[in-house]
Chain A
């Protein structure tokens, strides 16, 4: 089955419905221009932030003279700053993303999520960039907010093909260092990597003050593991093969998956990662709407 083109990835109707929602950052961002998101610094918006004591060097235009008249002390009145955000969309294009269940390929599903989010971001004035990786970084498009830049992202996403092993750990560590300012990082992957190493990546990202969101893409068959006769399992990322009777290993497999998913949930909660487990048989619009709505409610987060 051929990969969908950029035009096929975008659904105008879905975009029309999701445009009413905004993609908010849960954490203060460090944008270059004014935007929809809270900034990490004080600015000149109409929203009062706090009073603080005057220190030498402050602009005396910000001294609140009314407070001085009452208390005979100098206080600086500060206001919130709104800024735009830089979003880095990270797409896993390793071989495992080629897994196709009854409802299509996992990578195609991830592509639809990614381009739709990229479109929403640019149209709300934020900058969107793209990183495609497998065993290394394959494509790296830095965040920008121009529509022409968006076209480049679409064409790149439409063209990528799954190949190679998963190098998500190294990629995320590299990106954590590479992205200089606070940014929104959204990962689209099946995350089939040891959870411990993944948690270190997530911790690194959070340490760098990035707002990290993860779309954990799974197929229903991977969870159910319903097979009625012996299967030769072929690794999508290598030449490894395993012939076994699913009836024998089903319990062990599901136990391992159970442990993995529990650890993943627990780790993401610990490091404040916006974790979304998405099954590829669900409507991607619904998955995106859930994602956007939940982030709107979490907008009032701590300034850290």
Chain B
């Protein structure tokens, strides 16, 4: 037997309360001089046995009632025949709905998308099962648990509507586990409606180990049911924006647009590609010879880059209606600066060159300074701050905190000594060295998203080729003045060594982020100085840090958030209102404009197979469901608190009966009229 609130079992000694009261009553007796002692003796001899028995029964009954109350409050889960008798339906059904853009694909012979089919089948199964379970919806955008009155309402909810976002299944499972733990949900089934897209499930993420351990370690009985839609869809083409660049040529401003069109099967017939820029439509015929086609076009900007504008590209409808359009917006590009703060950094020059490469073609600049010069730093146009020094003083710490919370990027690199802490409670460990022939190697990294993701042409960064001979690991301790975000959110390992130690870790702080690296781009530390990893890393960090300075952005739907929650962003590409949280489009707020597109990884066709899924969930009971909710019959653990409450009521009835029996003599005496006056 397990308990959902086992700490309440500490109250079990309360059941001794009736005994204690009985003993205390016996101890605090008083003396009475009594004449009719002969009746007392007779009563003690003759009828005391039954009265004593009744008294002890009463005491036992009260103890039992207290025991049952405590047990019921502890919410026990009972297995075996008792658990089966308590009911086969789970107490709670949590539906994890993947409503990413890929779930809008329509299977051949069907008119409904995978998402719509999942909702229909879930609602139908719940209706046919006649379940009394509590239904909870967690979808991939907000990941906020929503309790539902009935499954039929699922199809009409805004939170189940199609989106242009990607799904983060580990994060959805984390939200489900948090809900189960916080709400003590009893026997629970987690239903996952998904197409098992690998980019959404992130099977290489180390978080799955934690999640599966947490699920297996829950005191209540939890089963995961996977409602999969992995069937091949019909012929589909997807359109995505690869790059957008503004250039001035021969006195004219032009917008270079690179679009990628991917097709599951090369279409036999040419199809039109429609591009609309500031309301002017143009159309080109595309004839695909292979499964991928790249379109590069130059669009004249009549008003110049400074005037800004937006546009969209579109291809005809096919099996998935969500991937046939992409949006873009342009405007004056901000000049985000990069500053390297170091006490004595031999590699400062390398870092500066990596962050400001191509200065001949851009106006990007990078400067270095000592920590003592922090007061002279201009923060308002700063995109990236590289920190390789001890923590600043109180005033500098507050300024640094504000910079990161407002969206800046701070990259901390090891100082090479461990006697003084870094900013944000960073504690550096000892310097570790490896033999030149056996350097530390990066074993895995986040290749789908972030500063180490694949390049535009789909190639991985050569992280596996980086040889680290010296590294300095770290730990982060919450320090005074750090924001709750910085303290509470765990770090995400963007890259890890073969021994599991982080190579680069990211930690969100406010709207910005703190990145911590464990090696330096110096020849005596690592081969990062070669630049194949360092340059794209620094450029991407600079670009992401500059985003907060730009009035016009092209961002990923679902990942982008406004700088201030109070900002009102309205859709400009359609007449009907849209929600920037999950719908792609062009949105505007004052002079600021953002073009949101679905994540590019939504077009990746790879899916996670069943064997890999079983491996991810480890000891968690996993069921692949064809659509109906099978009734669990084996090793069911159910809550039995209701039965215990019934027993408490029964115990109270028995106690009342025992008490009433004691008052029977008084009623008899009153009936015979002996309480009156002197008897004649």
Partner-B contacts on A (CB < 8 A): 95-99, 106, 190, 192, 194, 219, 222-223, 227, 229-237, 240, 242-245, 247-258, 260-261, 265, 275-279, 282, 287, 290, 294
Contacts and interface: CB of A to CB of B under 8 A. Distances in A.
A270 to B, nearest CB: 16
A101 to B, nearest CB: 10
B44 A234 contact: no
Q: Which of A250, A260, A282 counts the most B-chain CB atoms under 10 A from its CB?
A: A250
Contacts of B43: 249, 251-253, 255-256
B380 interface: no
A277 B29 CA distance: 31
A233 B678 contact: no
A190 B36 CA distance: 9
Contact of B48 (A106, A248, A282): A248
B31 A244 contact: no
A172 to B, nearest CB: 18
Given A229-B25, A251-B47, A244 B40 contact: yes
A287 B678 CA distance: 8
Q: Which of A97, A245, A277 counts the most B-chain CB atoms under 10 A from its CB?
A: A245
Interface stretch (B9-17, B427-435, B571-579, B669-677): B669-677
Nearest to B32: A231
B7 interface: no
Contacts, number: 135
B374 to A, nearest CB: 78
Contact of B35 (A99, A260, A276, A294): A99
Given A99-B35, A248-B55, A279-B678, A229 B30 contact: yes
Nearest to A244: B44
A190 B28 contact: no
A252 B42 contact: yes
Nearest to B42: A256
Contacts of B25: 229-230, 245
A190 to B, nearest CB: 6
Interface residues of B, number: 37
A253 B45 CA distance: 10
16 contacts: A98-B33, A99-B34, A219-B35, A229-B29, A230-B25, A230-B29, A244-B44, A247-B55, A251-B43, A252-B42, A258-B674, A275-B680, A276-B678, A278-B678, A279-B677, A290-B680
A5 to B, nearest CB: 24
Contacts of B28: 229-230
B39 interface: yes
A275 B43 CA distance: 26
B35 A242 contact: no
A235 B39 CA distance: 12
A54 B55 CA distance: 77
Interface in B622-665: 662, 664-665
B37 interface: yes
A251 B51 contact: yes
Nearest to B677: A282
Q: Which of B29, B36, B665, B677 counts the most A-chain CB atoms under 10 A from its CB?
A: B36
Interface string B524-536: 0000000000000
Nearest to B679: A277
Interface string B223-255: 000000000000000000000000000000000
Interface in B25-75: 25-26, 28-44, 46-48, 51-52, 55
Counting from the closest, the 5 A-B pairs by CB-CB distance are A252-B47, A252-B43, A96-B35, A230-B29, A277-B679
Given A232-B29, A245-B26, A282-B677, A222 B36 contact: yes
Contacts of A229: 25, 28-30
Interface in B66-124: none
B665 A254 contact: yes
Interface in B426-457: none
A236 B47 contact: no
A248 B52 contact: yes
